[in-house]
Amino acid sequence: MLRVLGNRKRLCNGLSRRDLLHAGGLAFGGMSLAGLAAANQASAQETPQSIDPTFGRAKNCILLFLYGSPSQIETFDMKPAAPAEIRGTIQAIPSAVPGMDVAELLPQTAKIMDRVTVIRSVTHPYPLHGVAFAATGVSNIDVGMELNPRDERHHPYFGSCVEYFDRRERNGRSGDSLSNIALPFPFSSKRTDQPFRAGPYGAFLGASFDPVWTEFIGHGTEQARKARPGFLWEGPEPYVACNADAHFRLAAVDPQPGLTVDRWDRRRSLVQQFDDARRSLSDSPFGATYSTFQKTAFGLLGSTRVRDALDVRHETEAMRDSYGRTLFGQSCLAARRLVESGTRLVSVFWDEYGLAGDAWDTHYDHFPRMKDQLCPQFDKAFAGLIRDLDDRGILDETLVAVLSEHGRTPRIQDIPGGGRDHWSQAYSVVLAGGGIGRGQVIGATDAIAAQVTARPVSPKSILATMYHCLGIHPWQEIEAANGSRFPLVPEGAEILRDALA
């Protein structure tokens, strides 16, 4: 069975009638009078590209989301003069930019800091695993929303909104590529317990705006042990190391194993016969959604561009090694291949694997996990991506963003291996390419990285800046299937002009 444009059935126990109406009822082409007015207002507020060359500089975007949230103190906001119970055991090292020290666990990243901008003063009031708050226009978040992707209060994911405006540009046509792909597997699907987490979904735009997910074809090759009170997971961990033959394929539209071209053609013929017999279905909201999904599936199956881009085995061994033979590293390599093939936006999630409360959520065994399972793997992948994009001459047209939900507490828990809890009052975000300046540090925190002392930045301003770089006016509204209109980013967000090139 084909599951096109996101695995909603697998993740959320099936499409509801409302979901189908939302997906089917969207007007892909044209704008309402209200929408036209909003666009005109946005144009009036935004500096024209002829004057502001950073607007629309990015042709595409790679969003790296570190789920669970890394510590600002062990990455990009080192505090070497802080007391031991704050600074911990990881030392600072100089980077390519004088005064922009990074953690010693990031030696490759240190070498490319002259090509990125670090924002050390991101702050908000929600210390939850709110991927939805960090990566959508929703103005607040709570635990109920975090654990319910179908909560009606959610707003569409950043990638879904990019796809919304891209479809409108094309008058609803899918094109021969994709606007919104996410790696390495459907979000929150590899943890041992439920429920699934919210964040990267189309929300009120409908399921057809969910990211197109890939599946990871591979396995871990090194054992990892991860524990929290009452739970223990041990097994091969692909984020630590994966097999040499690892690659990806589209979960949504790739043929089932053994489905040959002539069998696929026969299947398509059969579907056409059903369509001929049920033409009246196309007039219904369900039929409109079905048609959209079906056309996308057949279109992508007829083109090998995306599928070839996902097969990182086409790269040289040296190139694959430069990103690291890990799940995150090979996902970043696939992301570079996808944007080169014409994909507008690629999201790479460092997701939970095996254990809920995993990934960068280091409440327990903080220092061993940062040293062995997290920082070295991120270091090689991120530095490899930035260096590769720059060497190919496409960094300036490719926006790269490293986001997370929040930071971590300055004070270390007195437990074996240490631990840092959630902390949203001050943390770091990294941007590069696509209109972003190079070698910059924006904002500052106090002596223990607990409070912002200069240039507070909302996650919504990060999103507004990313939209700006992609040529999307952030002050527009988006329209739900029922005609309701919502701001792309909430009031108070700003474009970070000091982050731009």
| DSSP track, 193-260 | SPPPP-SSS-GGG-GGGSPEEEEEE--B-SEEEEEETTEEEEEE-TTT-B-TT-EEEETTTPPPTT--
User: Which residues in the chain land under pLDDT 70?
Assistant: 1-51, 171-177, 194-195, 252-303
Asked whether residue 2 is domain-assigned, the answer is no
Based on the structure, what is the number of domains in the chain? 1
Residue type, 119: I
pTM of this structure: 0.84
Alpha carbons 74 and 62: distance in angstroms, whole number: 23
The three-state (H, E, C) secondary structure of 384-425, written as one string: HHHHHHHHCCCHHHEEEEEECCCEECCCCCCCCCCCCCEECC
pLDDT of residue 42: 47
Q: Which residues are within 8 A (CB) of 234 and not within 5 positions of it... i.e. 6 or more apart? A: 223, 224, 225, 226
Asked whether residue 45 is domain-assigned, the answer is yes
Q: pLDDT by residue (tens digit) across 88-134?
A: 999 999 999 999 999 999 999 999 999 999 999 999 999 999 999 99
Beta-bridge partners for 315 = none
385 C-beta neighbours (distance < 10 Å), count: 27
Alpha carbons 426 and 483: distance in angstroms, whole number: 37
* 8-state DSSP, 361: -
pLDDT of residue 23: 34
pLDDT of residue 231: 83
pLDDT of residue 197: 92
Residue holding tokens 């479809």?
Answer: 167
Asked whether residue 220 is domain-assigned, the answer is yes
Indicate the angle between helix axes 459-469 and 158-169, nearest 10 degrees: 30
Asked whether residue 295 is domain-assigned, the answer is yes
Asked whether residue 432 is domain-assigned, the answer is yes
Alpha carbons 16 and 461: distance in angstroms, whole number: 33
Alpha carbons 324 and 310: distance in angstroms, whole number: 16
Q: Which two tokens stand for residue 86?
A: 């704050």
pLDDT of residue 159: 97
Q: Which residues are within 8 A (CB) of 423 and not within 5 positions of it... i.e. 6 or more apart? A: 127, 406, 407, 408, 409, 410, 450
Indicate the angle between helix axes 285-302 and 261-277, nearest 10 degrees: 160
**From its phi and psi, is residue 62 left (phi > 0), alpha (psi between -120 and 50) or beta?**
beta
Asked whether residue 209 is domain-assigned, the answer is yes
Asked whether residue 1 is domain-assigned, the answer is no
pLDDT of residue 170: 75
Strands 212-217 and 247-250: antiparallel
**Residue 210 near residue 198, CB atoms below 8 Å:** no
Angle made by CA atoms 197, 149, 63, in degrees to the nearest 5: 65
Of 341, 324, 329, the C-alpha closest to 181 is 341
Asked whether residue 3 is domain-assigned, the answer is no
**Residue 7 near residue 251, CB atoms below 8 Å:** yes
**Residue 208 near residue 293, CB atoms below 8 Å:** yes
pLDDT of residue 437: 98
Of 469, 472, 471, the C-alpha closest to 488 is 472
Domain with 150, as residue range(s), is: 8-499
pLDDT of residue 356: 82
Alpha carbons 395 and 45: distance in angstroms, whole number: 28
Alpha carbons 49 and 170: distance in angstroms, whole number: 21
18 C-beta neighbours (distance < 10 Å), count: 14
Of 234, 199, 178, 225, the C-alpha closest to 65 is 199
Alpha carbons 158 and 161: distance in angstroms, whole number: 5
